[in-house]
Amino acid sequence: MGWGGVYSSDVLALTMKDGPSIARDGFITGKKGVGLVKTTRAISFILLGMSFMLQGCILLAVGAGAAAGVGAVAYLKGELQTTYAASLDRTWEASLDALKDLNYRVISSEKGGTEGNIEAKLVGGDEVKISLSIPGPGTTLVKIRVGVFGDESVSRTINSKIASNLGVQSS
**What's the CATH code of the domain at 71?**
3.30.310.80
The answer to whether the beta carbons of residues 3 and 12 sit under 8 Å apart is: no
Domain closes at, from 28, 53, 78: 53
Write the pLDDT tens digit of every residue in 9-62: 444 444 445 555 554 444 445 555 455 556 666 665 565 555 544 444 333 333
Are 83 and 149 members of one domain?
yes
Strand-pairing partners, residue 83, are 72, 141
Please identify, among 15, 30, 53, the residue that sits at the C-terminal boundary of a domain.
Answer: 53
161 and 120 belong to one structural domain: yes
Residues 134-139, mean pLDDT to the nearest whole number: 94
Do residues 66 and 145 share a domain? yes
Domain that holds residue 18: 3-53
End-of-domain residue from the set 16, 36, 53: 53
Is residue 157 in a domain? yes
pTM strictly above 0.75:
no
The one-letter amino acid code at 66 reads A
96 and 28 inside one domain: no
> Which pLDDT tens digit goes with each residue over 50-100?
554 444 433 333 333 333 356 678 888 999 999 999 999 999 999 999 999
In a domain, 171, yes or no: no
Is residue 80 in a domain? yes
User: Do 70 and 144 fall into the same domain?
Assistant: yes
Q: Which positions ≥6 away from 36 have C-beta within 8 Å?
A: 20, 28
Distance CA(47)–CA(145), nearest Å, equals: 31
Say if residue 124 is in the same domain as residue 99: yes
Q: Is residue 46 part of a domain?
A: yes
State how many domains the chain has: 2
Q: What is the pLDDT of residues 95-121, one digit of tens each?
A: 999 999 999 999 999 999 999 999 999
